[in-house]
Copies of this chain bind each other. A is one copy, B any other.
């Protein structure tokens, strides 16, 4: 079942205690799509500048990602630069050059509009809503957001997410959006905003999924070396929605299996953990579906009692 992903495609400069990269393929849409591509046919909507390299296009193409919706326009590709703290729990942004992303007006190719799965990466909420309105007969839609939109475009954000099946954000965003520090209370308030399914990412501490009819929690995978956490949350999103698309999951079917949502959280966690093992998107150059399923099984073993 095909999936449409929208969001940023970027170049990143990253420094972690393990090393640095001056210019590497990045952006939320890139990570989400690469991750989801292991599970389902994935199409992206994004924008890049004239400097976008054919080698980087090939990274996505080699995973079978449909790039018809990736516009290339005059100017430079979105550029982000950041440096991580020694324990990698904090990062400082050194530079954000929106470049061509500043005027991003997502346009869906006609071939995308009948896709049953849609993931709206972190962009201005009115744009997210506009994309959803272009879709015809979408079955399962959700997305991400960030502190900036919660603070500056709260009403537009609430309007957008009220139409979503799921919201996937990190714990600090959940606290900011709900105004509640306690995550159990925060989750209940967010469910009142529309999405029937809320996934809260907690970085190295794992993730949780909350609905009126279920609560699921999983600890984070314990890596021996975290090389670079950039994109891990986006790879989580790609694994989560990619797995559900692969399974043909349908919330509107009264008989859906809640455990499919739980397993999607595990696949999200698996993909996030792989992402951290190398710089940028490098891990995906060698990662196989077999590796993914083996780590899924490992999650089963280390949580069984």
Report yes or no: B222 in contact with A215, Cβ–Cβ below 8 A: yes
A interface, size bucket: 20 to 34
- With A87-B181, A181-B87, A205-B205: A262-B222 Cβ-Cβ less than 8 Å: no
Report yes or no: A217 in contact with B222, Cβ–Cβ below 8 A: yes
- With A208-B222, A222-B208: A217-B302 Cβ-Cβ less than 8 Å: yes
Check A98 for interface membership: any CB of B closer than 8 A: no
- With A182-B224, A225-B182: A266-B305 Cβ-Cβ less than 8 Å: yes
Check A304 for interface membership: any CB of B closer than 8 A: yes
Check A219 for interface membership: any CB of B closer than 8 A: yes
Check A185 for interface membership: any CB of B closer than 8 A: yes
* Contacting residue for A259 out of B216, B225, B305, CB 8 A: B305
Check A116 for interface membership: any CB of B closer than 8 A: no
- With A224-B182, A305-B266: A217-B219 Cβ-Cβ less than 8 Å: yes
CA distance A26 to B289 in the complex (A): 52
* Contacting residue for A219 out of B208, B226, B262, CB 8 A: B208
CA distance A215 to B295 in the complex (A): 13
Residues of A within 8 A of B (CB): 87, 181-185, 202, 205-206, 208, 214-219, 222-226, 259, 262-263, 265-266, 300-305
